[in-house]
Amino acid sequence: MVNLPLPHTNIKGLRKKRRVMISALLVIATLFLFSGDSPVPINDHQPPHSLHSGKKHQVIPQLSGTELVQRRIEQVAHRMEVPGVIAVAKRNGELFSYAAGEASIEDKKPIKTTHAFRIASVTKTFVATVVLQLVEEQKLSLEDTVEEWLPGIVQGNGYDGNKITIRQLLNHTSGIPDYITEDFYIKFHKDSFRTFMVEELIQEALSAKPLFDPGTSWAYSNTNTLLVGQIIEQVTEEPYRYQIKKRIIDPLELACTSLPDQNFYIPCAHARGYIHSAEQLYDYTEHSPTWLNAAGEMISTAEDLVIFYEALLGGRLLKPEQLQEMLTTVETPWNTNYGLGIEEFRLYDGPSVWGHGGSTHGFTTAVRASRNGRHVIAVNANVSFDTGYVSFDGIIEAEMKRQ
């Protein structure tokens, strides 16, 4: 697919407007990154995941299951700082759509469940699926080391790629830190339309010391998935983007799912995406997705994500052995369990669900699914926060626990 620039967008004007907000953003980012009040970093550092909080949501008995989900959607959208919220769910073959709020605060157009959005770290599940397909094809092993496929890249400054496996990259036990730090955040906001090379991003991370010895602890790091993307390219001799398209997007006919590479624009119909900072909303719909690369560059719709997770957990993309590898988890400090590009969450007084979340400039996303893939929900808000995340807990619990 060739993604053409939208003619109405004035990139120079956007650059100027964004420079105005940088000082406010950086003050808040500095306070937030080094505050002990919350373990959740800004933007796409970690997926939104507060289902494990243990807080019970009030249930209104007179509402049906779908009515309660819609009520929860409206409650999130009616908060001043959240322009719009959409969700698509599939339960035993039946599709349900929910929406509330605005696609654009400028023209007040309603948000639609068909709107595309940036899915951020949900990209990681796609990347992990490709790796496990390559394992099935015996083109690599999860126990292969980084050094075997990327010789010399993860060496020095306390690193030894001979001791880090692909499995450890996928489940975030490698000890490699995240490249998205306060300094990187400042660099990005100076020009959010510049092209970042993946080698630059990896070196940004490796300039810091390892967080721990490989396999001895857990820390979410976008750098891990950048390296996995590079390994896919070494194994297949093709861009990881093409592998995701060929192996997942095309077979599942995900019409509005894409990997934009250097394209600033969202190709399908979409809502505007906003950053909430200093009590204001700033339009960040267009920017260079190269700063996320394999860790979170993808664009999709809620329905496309539902189709993907239904197929994945339903065994259509991976054979049982590889799917079991994906769902083999390690404990996280968030009271969740992390597998290979997928996370297990515990609903309050309910079953475990599987999925991923992500937040990037302008959009926040979460997907949750039953273990067999027969019940899936994908939720998106057209906003991201410089001081935290939109909570979709009530929406997800209402959908996944409804009768």
**How crowded is residue 211: how many other Cβ atoms within 10 Å of its Cβ?**
16
Look at the block and give the residue holding tokens 């690369």: 293
User: Residues 139-162: what's their mean pLDDT?
Assistant: 99
Query: What's the pLDDT score for residue 34?
Result: 30
Question: Residue 89 forms beta bridges with which residues?
Answer: 96, 377
- Within a domain: 376: yes
* Statement: residue 7 has pLDDT above 70: no
Which residues neighbour 393 within 8 Å (Cβ) at sequence distance 6 or greater?
A: 50, 51, 53, 55, 57
Q: Which of helix, strand or coil describes residue 87?
A: strand
Evaluate whether residue 2 is within a structural domain.
no
pLDDT at 249: 99
Q: In degrees, to the nearest 5, what angle opens at C-alpha 213 toward C-alphas 210 and 217?
A: 100
> Are the C-beta atoms of 98 and 69 separated by less than 8 Å?
yes
**CB contact at 8 A, 326 and 341:** yes
Q: Which two tokens stand for residue 13?
A: 């004007």
pTM: 0.87
Q: Model confidence over 10-27: pLDDT tens digits? A: 444 445 455 445 444 443
Q: What is the pLDDT of residues 230-264, one digit of tens each?
A: 999 999 999 999 999 999 999 999 999 999 988 88
Find where tokens 């967080």 sit. Answer: 211
> Is 22 a domain residue?
yes
Q: Is residue 117 part of a domain?
A: yes
Average the pLDDT over 77-99 and give the result: 93
**DSSP tag of 63:** S
Q: Give residue 348's identity as a one-letter amino acid code.
A: Y
Residue 318 or 3, more confident: 318
Show the domain range for 117.
11-400
Look at the chain and report how many structural domains it folds into.
1
Separation of alpha carbons 185 and 207, rounded Å = 16
Separation between Cα atoms, residue 342 and residue 357, nearest integer Å: 9
The answer to the question of residue 4 being in a domain is no
Q: At what angle do helices 123-136 and 302-313 cross, to 10 degrees?
A: 30
Report the pLDDT averaged over residues 308-337.
98
Convert 7-20 to b/e letters by CB count within 10 Å (16 or more is b): eeeeeeebeeebee
> 3 in a domain, yes or no?
no
CATH number for the domain spanning 15: value is 3.40.710.10
Q: Are 298 and 112 in contact (CB under 8 A)?
A: no
